[in-house]
A and B are shown apart, each in its own frame.
Chain A
């Protein structure tokens, strides 16, 4: 079973600060997705990265896929309380083994 390790598990920062969360594996993925989940709701897809070294921006969120397609990071600039949630990464192996989820990073942005 392939594993995705997310760090940190918990992060609480003040509004306006920058932060980076990480998603690491020893395995290669054909693509990687980031989801955000709010309390009492299902995960909602934020982005998919496919190419090694790829960088995608979604307003204040920047996603990067590692060159070797084993890891990814999510950077948030000038965090806002609305960014609060559980951030999940999920890797697709492109074959029969399917999608692997990390356990997530719980992010709290305090006003």
Chain B
């Protein structure tokens, strides 16, 4: 079975702190994604990566950065956390499908619920 593991289920941080969310997948997937999920807004793509050291902006990249130093690990960084970044963060991974940089079937981690006070 595909396993996508997010390092924390719950995090509470203060405004202005630097926050790292870690995600590891064990299926040798090329693609990895970070989403945030908010009531009424659905899943919104923050960043994705289709290869080591490669990254692409999603729909809402402002206030976030990412790092992919190894194929299995994709990190989301909040340089200076703000209260409007309180959300459920979901990591996903998939195989590379043809020339699509996002792939088809995505496998999700359990999510990190981040509260910024």
Question: How far is it, in angstroms, between the C-alpha of A101 and the C-alpha of B101 when the chains are bound?
Answer: 16
B80–chain A nearest beta-carbon distance, Å:
26
- Is A111 part of the binding interface, using a Cβ–Cβ cutoff of 8 Å? no
Interchain CB contact under 8 A, B104 and A48: yes
Interchain CB contact under 8 A, B105 and A42: no
- Is A88 part of the binding interface, using a Cβ–Cβ cutoff of 8 Å? yes
Which segment of A19-27, A53-61, A67-75, A91-99 sits at the interface?
A91-99
Interchain CB contact under 8 A, A31 and B111: no
Question: How far is it, in angstroms, between the C-alpha of A40 and the C-alpha of B9 when the chains are bound?
Answer: 9
Question: How far is it, in angstroms, between the C-alpha of A103 and the C-alpha of B78 when the chains are bound?
Answer: 24
Interchain CB contact under 8 A, B100 and A95: yes
Size of the B side of the interface (Cβ < 8 Å), in residues, is 26
SS class, residues of chain A in contact with chain B: loop
Option from B40, B43, B100, B108 in Cβ contact (under 8 Å) with A94: B100
- Is A33 part of the binding interface, using a Cβ–Cβ cutoff of 8 Å? yes
Option from A1, A44, A88 in Cβ contact (under 8 Å) with B43: A88
Interchain CB contact under 8 A, B108 and A103: no
Question: How far is it, in angstroms, between the C-alpha of A96 and the C-alpha of B110 when the chains are bound?
Answer: 27
A-side interface residues toward B, CB under 8 Å? 1, 30-31, 33, 35, 40-45, 48, 88, 90, 92-99, 101-104
6 tightest CB-CB pairs across the interface, nearest first? A98-B102, A42-B108, A103-B42, A92-B104, A101-B43, A43-B108
